[in-house]
Structure 1
Amino acid sequence: MGRGPGYGRPLAGRRVLLTRSPDRAGAMASALAAAGAEPLLLPLIDFESARDAGTLEAALARLAAGDYAWLVVSSITTVRALKQFAAERGDSLRSLVPEGVRIATIGPSSGRVLESEGLRVDLAPEGKQSAEGLVELWAYADDGGAAGADGAGAVRVLIPQSSLAAPTLSDGLVERGWDVDVVTAYETVDYPADPARRLTAELAVGTEPRLAAEPSPAVALSPDEAQGELAAGRIDAVVAASPSAAQRICETLRPLDATRLVAIGQPTAAELRSLGVDVAATATRPTPEGIVDAVVEALLRPPRPSVPPPN
């Protein structure tokens, strides 16, 4: 049987809008382009160093002193924030975490980046790659050393995270008997960030191509340009990478009825639905390949039947 012209390029001719800045969208844009799509960019959120650096510094000092059994690094942006914090003080990311502290994360991308920085990941969900998935994997504090417990009575966990992070992870661990300290490692802000405070630390394993060496295949749009493309029906799908990005999409791009919304992860999908937006597909794996699969699924899904307005 012959192969059709779209074989291996399931998104040929499709235009997909990513709501990320060029320096953080490279891997996702490249994967979409390899699948035949034309990726477009609309930067909506950005990241800055924590305004309360003293609180983060105190927590990391306690980490270095051995007060915590576990460090939870839930995103690549957290890795970047911690590395930038260390670099500004003349240290390495590896120097922040003493021997004996275990590290947990949520997905393979964060795990790969942590390991490239010389930090071993001890716990990460393989199926449900989310805060809920990590909580389900974590042991109860009195579980005698299984999974999350260390068997030595140390049951304190440090979670550095975004200023806008939901309490799902910390609440779940508290319910399992752990003492949890949450600290803001970085601020999620509207794009663009303050240049003096923007997170710019380069990671040992590139999660996105460097623009100077390997330009992103995506074209960046202004909000007005993106709105015009949507209104003209020239954007097939919009990808929301986080709940905060979902909020900004709905603030900036409504109405969204003529396109398909793709969420990365269940928390993002839940946020879109809470804002009254239909989610065409959800990427269960927060990887470029997982996102391509979700976009393909969204575009193969039959459109929702229109509901006539009441008389």
Structure 2
Amino acid sequence: MDEERPPVVLVPRGGAWGEAVAAAARQRGLDPVVVPLIADAPPEDPAALDAALARLAAGHEDSAEDADEDGVPDGRHGAPPTGRTRPDAAGPGAPWLVVTSATAVRVVAGRVPRLPAGVRVACVGAATARAARQAGWPVDLVPDDESAAGVAAALPSDAGPVLFPRSEIAATTLVDGLRARGIAVSEVVAYRTVGTGDEPVVLAPPPDAVLVTSGSVAQQVVRRMTPLDPRTHVACIGPSTADAARAAGLPVHVVARSRSAEALLDAVVETLHPNPRTGRSS
């Protein structure tokens, strides 16, 4: 690796996210190159999303009407009153909004400026939770296992109806997990993830690392960047993304310890061994 330059990392999305990740990379002595491989697009049927969000609000109103004078629902949603409350004082039967990406947060917040007061919010990980809080949402649950399976396992068994606004190509892990536990969940496409073109992406010199933040990114790397230079590390944001990258035919060299861009960059730095004094590879 060239000792006269910092390690080059390819950031696969543009916009505010790409700018923030590029800034975080520079802080770590890396040289980011933003090459948007994917972008977000509206769902084919935006009316379905609006209707689902309206039902979420209506579900909250139903829960409030079912509450007794102490504010405890009467169990109409399938769980009898237990007398216990969650740390935020919400009783059983409260509706939940589950989000597994910052993009889902942005889309929903753009259509519903304020969530109904009684709706609980579960986020797949710290980065999604940060986006939710920035949107003004209270965050009630972030699982220790930052994955769709982790959310499905951690949601309270007495949860009310769950809405899952998702990417068009999201896996069924979350929905299957909740239904297996007997929790009512409805899913709706909130956005589509699309490629940004077909032309090959060639960087000179080749990047030292490519950040792979989703299965969609992995597919676009395969479509537009393979064969990768043997010196290029494929860095994945989490185990599920690493599995998707391998399924797409990519080698995986780096997996972040937690599901955030910051943790991914830290893992890249650790793998590439930059010199602490110069920020350059040693």
Same topology, TM > 0.5: yes
Question: Whole-Å Cα distance in 2 between the matches of residues 12 and 128 of structure 1?
Answer: 37
Q: How many pairs align? A: 236
Question: Whole-Å Cα distance in 2 between the matches of residues 113 and 228 of structure 1?
Answer: 31
Partner of 1:118, secondary structure, is coil
TM superposition shift of 1:73: 1.6
TM-score normalised by L of structure 2: 0.77
TM superposition shift of 1:22: 4.1
Aligned residue in 1 for 2:196: 191
Aligned residue in 2 for 1:175: 180
Q: Does 1:74 align with 2:100?
A: yes
Question: Whole-Å Cα distance in 1 between the matches of residues 39 and 51 of structure 2?
Answer: 25
CA spacing shift, 1:253–1:158, aligned 2, 3 Å: same
Question: Whole-Å Cα distance in 2 between the matches of residues 266 and 78 of structure 1?
Answer: 21
Q: Does 1:134 align with 2:151?
A: yes
Q: Deviations over 1:262-309 (max 9, x none)?
A: 011222111111122211011132334302212124335xxxxxxxxx
Q: Which stretch shifts more, 180-189 or 15-24? A: 15-24
Q: Deviations over 1:232-286 (max 9, x none)?
A: x531111111111111111110012511100112221111111222110111323
Runs of 4+ in 1 over 6 A off after TM superposition: none
Question: Whole-Å Cα distance in 1 between the matches of residues 32 and 203 of structure 2?
Answer: 16
Q: Does the 8 Å CA contact 2:153/2:178 hold for their aligned counterparts?
A: no
Aligned residue in 1 for 2:264: 291
* Match of residue 111, structure 2, among 63, 77, 85: 85
* Match of residue 29, structure 1, among 10, 22, 47: 22
Partner of 2:202, secondary structure, is helix
Q: Does the 8 Å CA contact 1:47/1:187 hold for their aligned counterparts?
A: yes
Partner of 1:25, secondary structure, is helix
Aligned residue in 2 for 1:271: 244
Q: Does the 8 Å CA contact 2:148/2:173 hold for their aligned counterparts?
A: yes
Q: Deviations over 1:45-71 (max 9, x none)?
A: 111222201211211111111167211
Question: Whole-Å Cα distance in 1 between the matches of residues 171 and 31 of structure 2?
Answer: 33
Q: What amino acid does structure 2 have at the position aligned with 1:85?
A: R
Q: 5 Å matches for 1:160-309?
A: 160-191=165-196, 224=200, 226-229=201-204, 234-258=206-230, 259-299=232-272
CA spacing shift, 1:138–1:64, aligned 2, 3 Å: closer
- Structure 1: stretches of 5+ with no match in the other structure: 1-10, 87-91, 142-148, 193-221, 301-311
Q: What amino acid does structure 2 have at the position aligned with 1:72?
A: V
Cα root mean square deviation, aligned: 2.2
CA spacing shift, 1:101–1:38, aligned 2, 3 Å: same
TM-score normalised by L of structure 1: 0.70
Partner of 1:261, secondary structure, is strand
CA spacing shift, 1:283–1:223, aligned 2, 3 Å: farther
Question: Whole-Å Cα distance in 2 between the matches of residues 22 and 158 of structure 1?
Answer: 27
Question: Whole-Å Cα distance in 1 between the matches of residues 5 and 59 of structure 2?
Answer: 53
Question: Whole-Å Cα distance in 1 between the matches of residues 165 and 196 of structure 2?
Answer: 22
